[in-house]
Chain A
C-alpha cells in the first residue's frame, strides 16, 4: 500500500515532482561544478603562472668559490660546470611529474669580425627529450620565455629545419649590427668559429636583447666545452610555502623524521630544489624568489576567493532547495489533512512525504551531478583550455549536501502540517 501510494504520487503528481527534482538537480549541479572548479583551480592557475618562467635555477656548487679564488672575471661560471648528460635525471626525481619545463644554458663569450665582444647563449629551444621512463617531453626556451616576441623571422625550430648554425638574435643587437632574419653573422669563440644563420629576431624587453641565442651544441663548440652547461632553469608546479617549508629550506637536517618525510613528499619549492640537488652532481638549486614567492601569494588568494564564492553558492543552492521543498510540502496541506481525517498516523504521513521527496531528490541529485560535471568542463575549457579533474571527494560531498538540505527543507514544513487539525485544513481556512 505504501509503495502504491508513493508510486501514485510520483506518477500522478509528476509535474510537481519534476519541479522539485529540477530544483534539486540545479542545486546539485551548482554544488558539483563549484566544488570541482574550486578543488582544481590551484593546479590550473599554477599552470597559467608558468608564463612567468622558471622558478628554480640550478648552478654549479663551486662557481662562486672558483671565481673567488682565481679571480676569473669572465667566462661565465669560471671553470665549474654542470654535466649535460645528467639533464634527463631532473625528470626522475620524486616530484618529476611537477616539473613542467626546463632548459640548460651555457654562456659563451665570442668576438665579432670587428672585434667587439658579444654573449652567445647556448640553450634548448624546443628540445625533444626521451626519458628512460619512456616519457617524452618537449622542453626549452620557446615555452619558458613565452613573453618574448619575434620581431622578424620565427622561432628556431630544433625539431624542424634548423641546423647547428641557426641562431636567434636580440632586437637591440640586431639593430646595432643592422641584421634581420635570413642574414648571416660570423662569430669567433675561444676554440672555434662559426657563421651563424639568423632565423629570427626576438624582443625580450630585458638584457637578453643584446645577446645571441643558439643551440646548446653550437655554444659548446665555440668554447670547446662539450658536455658542459652553466646553469639550468626549471619551471615546476609548487605548493605555497608554509612554516615547515621555510624551516626546511634553511636546514633540512633540523627536521624530525616525520616532518622530513612530510616536507620531502610535498611539492614545496624547497623540497623540489633539494631533490634536484640530489640528482645533479655538485649543484646548487635555489628558488627564484621573484617567481616562487609571487606564485605562492597569487595561488593562495585565488584559492581563498574560489572557496568563498563556492561557500556562497552552496548556501544559495541549499536555501533554494530548502525553500522549494518547504513550499511544495506546504502546498499539499489539503491532501495531508484528508489523510489525517481518515485516520493516518503522524508517523505514517511524515514517512510517506519524506520517502517521496527523497526519491525525487536522488533522481535530481544524480542528474544534477552530471550537469554540474558538464558545467565544470565548460568553465575549464573556456578559461584554461583544459578539462577540470573531478576529484572523487566531490561525489560524497554533494550527496551529503543534497540529503541534509532536503531533510532540513522538509522537516519544518512537515511539522507544521502535522500540527494542523484536519477539519480546519479541509475546510480551507488555512
Chain B
C-alpha cells in the first residue's frame, strides 16, 4: 500500500515539477493521437461519403418489365428488397409518342422529385416543373419548335384503340406550360418530360410504366446481391445494373480508398516516429537522475517501472486528448468536403489510447534501459 502511494507520488511529482518538459511530451503524443484517430475515421468514412458523390453519375440500377403488366406497385415491391437507407432516388418512366404542332415527339412521364434524385446532372434552364400541366423540354426540342421558358404549347395524343362503329377518334390534348429547358448533352434533350399523372390523363390509360431508374448508394457486390434478390423474389420486375456506372465506380472508388489508406499509413508512421523521438529526447535528458537513483540504491526494475508508469500516464492523457481532437478534425473535414456529419466510432477511442501508450512506453523504454545499463558513476560523471 505504502509502496504504491510512493510510486504515485513520484510520478505526479515528476510530472508537476517538470511541467514544461512534460507539456512538450504531452503535446507531441496528443498530435500523434489526433492524426491517428482523425485519419482512421476519415479512411473508414471515405467510401460512404465518396460513394454518395458518385451518385452524381445517375442511376445504377434499372427495373424493366418482366411480363406484360409493369406498374409502380411492382417497382415498390422491388424497392422493398433494398435497404431503405441505401436508396438515393427512384424515378419511374413511361414513354409515349405524342405530337406537338402535328410532328411526333417522345414524351416521358415521370416523378420529377425522383428524376431530380436519380439524374443530378440534369441542368435545367428555368424551373423544374411541379404543378400539373407543366413540362420540361429537351434543349433540341426547344430549338426545333423555338420554345422558351414560360411558353405554352398544345400536346396532342391519338388513342390507340380502333374507333368502333364509324365513331371518329378524338385526339386528346392538354395545354402545357414550359417551365424549364433540359440540357444534358445526351439523348434526353430530344424528349419532353411531364408528370406521370399528366401523361396518364393525356393518353387516357394508366397504370403501366416502361422502366424505373434507381440510384442506390452501395458497393458493386451489394448491388449485384440486390439485383439477384429482386429478380428472384419479385416476379414482375427484371432488375439490371447499369454497367457503365457500376463498373467504373468500383474502379475509381477503390483507387481513391487506396490513396487515402496509403496516405494514412505514411502520415501515421512518420508521426509516430516523430512522437517516439521526442519522447526519447525527453527521457534521455534525465540520465543523471537515473544515475543518482541507482547510486542511492534503486533497483533497475523499480526505475524502469517508474519511468514506464510516467510515460504511460502521458500516453493515456495524450490518447484521450487526441481522440477528441481527431474526431473534431474528421468532423470538420466531413462538413467542409462532403457537407455531412461523420459517425462517431467508439472503438477507435481505446485503440488510439492503446497505441499512444504503446508508442510512448516503447520509446521511453530504450533510453531508460541504456541509462540503467551503465554504471551510475559514469552516468553521473556525464559521459
Contacts and interface: CB of A to CB of B under 8 A. Distances in A.
Contact of B266 (A30, A305, A428): A30
Interface stretch (A92-100, A294-302, A396-404): A294-302
Interface stretch (A116-124, A192-200, A282-290, A339-347): A282-290
B243 A298 contact: no
A175 interface: no
B381 interface: no
B271 A289 contact: no
Contacts of A71: 103
Which range contains the number of B residues in contact with the other chain? Answer: 35 or more
Given A19-B277, A293-B56, A319 B262 contact: no
Contacts of B256: 45, 302
A105 interface: no
Nearest to B262: A379
Contacts of A316: 31-32, 34-35, 267, 271, 274
Interface stretch (B183-191, B296-304, B341-349): B183-191
Contacts of A57: 185
A57 B187 CA distance: 11
A205 B56 contact: no
Nearest to B289: A428
B255 A48 contact: yes
B24 interface: yes
Nearest to A307: B337
B20 A330 contact: yes
Contact of A34 (B42, B184, B263): B263
A205 B241 contact: yes
B53 A298 contact: yes
Contacts of A428: 288
Interface in B88-116: 103
B278 interface: yes
A324 B277 contact: yes
Nearest to B144: A68
Given A34-B263, A298-B53, A293 B121 contact: yes
B251 to A, nearest CB: 5
A206 interface: yes
Contact of B121 (A19, A48, A289, A321): A289
A320 B243 CA distance: 47
Interface string B30-54: 0110110011001000100010011
Contacts of B245: 52
A308 interface: yes
A375 B266 contact: yes
B255 A331 contact: no
A312 B185 contact: no
Interface in B128-153: 140, 143-144
A204 to B, nearest CB: 7
Given A52-B244, A331-B285, A26 B270 contact: yes
A239 interface: no
Interface in A363-405: 375, 378-379, 382-384
Contacts, number: 212
Contact of B274 (A23, A289, A292): A23
Contact of A294 (B54, B267, B281): B54
Contact of A288 (B185, B251, B284, B288): B185
A55 to B, nearest CB: 8
Interface residues of A, number: 71
Nearest to A31: B270
Contacts of B251: 48, 51, 146
Contacts of B288: 428
Nearest to A54: B185
B281 A331 contact: yes
Contacts of A64: 140, 143-144
A349 B251 CA distance: 59
Contacts of A166: none
Interface centre among A294, A309, A379 (most CB of B within 10 A): A309
Contacts of B28: 319-320, 323-324
Nearest to B286: A331
Given A26-B273, A298-B56, A323-B27, A206 B242 contact: yes
A49 B39 CA distance: 24
A290 B267 contact: no
A294 B271 contact: no
A214 B48 CA distance: 40
Interface string B309-329: 000000000000000000001
Contacts of B262: 378-379, 382-383
B267 A313 contact: yes
A22 interface: yes
Contacts of A383: 255, 258-259, 262
Given A45-B252, A301-B50, A327-B21, A290 B184 contact: yes
Contacts of B336: 304, 308
B270 A29 contact: yes
B233 to A, nearest CB: 22
A382 B58 CA distance: 29
A418 B140 CA distance: 79
Interface string A175-196: 0000000000000000000000
A203 interface: yes
A301 B338 contact: yes
Given A19-B280, A378-B262, A324 B248 contact: no
Contact of A51 (B24, B120, B252): B252
Interface in A130-151: 146-149
B248 A51 contact: yes
Given A301-B338, A324-B277, A327-B285, 5 more contacts: A71-B103, A316-B34, A317-B270, A320-B275, A379-B259
- The 3 nearest A-B residue pairs measured at CB: A205-B243, A320-B274, A294-B56
29 contacts: A16-B281, A19-B281, A37-B259, A45-B256, A48-B252, A51-B251, A64-B144, A71-B103, A146-B247, A147-B244, A147-B248, A204-B243, A206-B244, A286-B185, A289-B183, A289-B184, A290-B58, A293-B123, A298-B50, A306-B263, A309-B263, A316-B267, A317-B274, A320-B275, A326-B24, A327-B24, A327-B25, A331-B284, A331-B285
